[in-house]
Structure 1
């Protein structure tokens, strides 16, 4: 007789295992790309040449790595405790919104209404994160 719970747990274990390795590879590739960009900028500044890689590329790279790290922490926590913590999800979402604001402001193609809506979203996410840290779930099921 097939036990559907065991099949489900096995599939979820392999899927999260695969996603963890994909995220780990993405973090390593992102870090190597960031090191290359910083090294290229440093080389160009010391050589007195025109810089082809901008500062925003480094900022976006750093924020992207932080997003990947938060997603990695979320999947590791899910594998260990079989739950998803609200703090990790809000942290990743806050970083995604901050990344979009940084990119949009730097390239000057973002409308003020969009910045205002993202700022309100950041405020709401910050309040959610503050409340989830201040009033943690004591039973440990849906934290």
Structure 2
């Protein structure tokens, strides 16, 4: 009788791994599409600057390029997760550092930040830098 029940038992680990694999593949394709669209937008912005039709100018391109770097780091994180089944803290801190740098660059060019906010972002960058240095110095052994 037990053999009969094994046929109908659901292997939950297999279902979980299959769903996680499917979700990561979908996210990787979405990130790849976002990278391609982002690069196309940067090229359009450069074309607009050359012909003088873009008002934002250099600050817009810097922000767009930093956004592309964030997407690349997220892409690396998901590829690494698919291969090793773990998320490495260095990739997450890299992406977060790039996000903060992007916000600082965008804010500086738009001149929309007060000194308290920049001080807060600088403190966040310092802490993220310390975390990154510690993660590199003492890597996780799996």
Q: TM-score, normalised by structure 2?
A: 0.90
- Say if 2:6 is the partner of 1:3: no
Q: What is the rounded CA distance, in whole Å, between the counterparts of 1:101 and 1:69 in structure 2?
A: 19
Task: Find the aligned partners of 1:107 and 1:53 in 2 and give their Cα distance.
Answer: 9
The answer to whether the aligner puts 1:111 opposite 2:114 as a matched pair is yes
Find the partner of 1:42 among 38, 50, 53: 50
Residue 82 of structure 1 deviates from its aligned partner by: 0.1
In the alignment, structure 1 residue 88 sits paired with structure 2 residue 91? yes
Q: Look up the match of 1:61.
A: 64
Kindly name which structure, 1 or 2, has the bigger radius of gyration based on alpha carbons: 2
Distance (whole Å) between structure 2 residues aligned to residue 3 and residue 51 of structure 1:
56
C-alpha RMSD of matched pairs (Å): 1.1
Moved over 3 A (4+): none
Which runs of structure 2 are paired with 1:125-136 in the superposition (5 Å)? 125-136=128-139
| Cα distance in structure 1, aligned partners of 2:127 and 2:26 | 32
Query: Which residues of structure 1 form unaligned runs of 5+?
Result: 45-49
Structure 2, unmatched stretches of 5+, are 1-8
Work out whether residues 37 and 53 of structure 1, in 8 Å CA contact, stay in contact via their aligned partners in 2: no
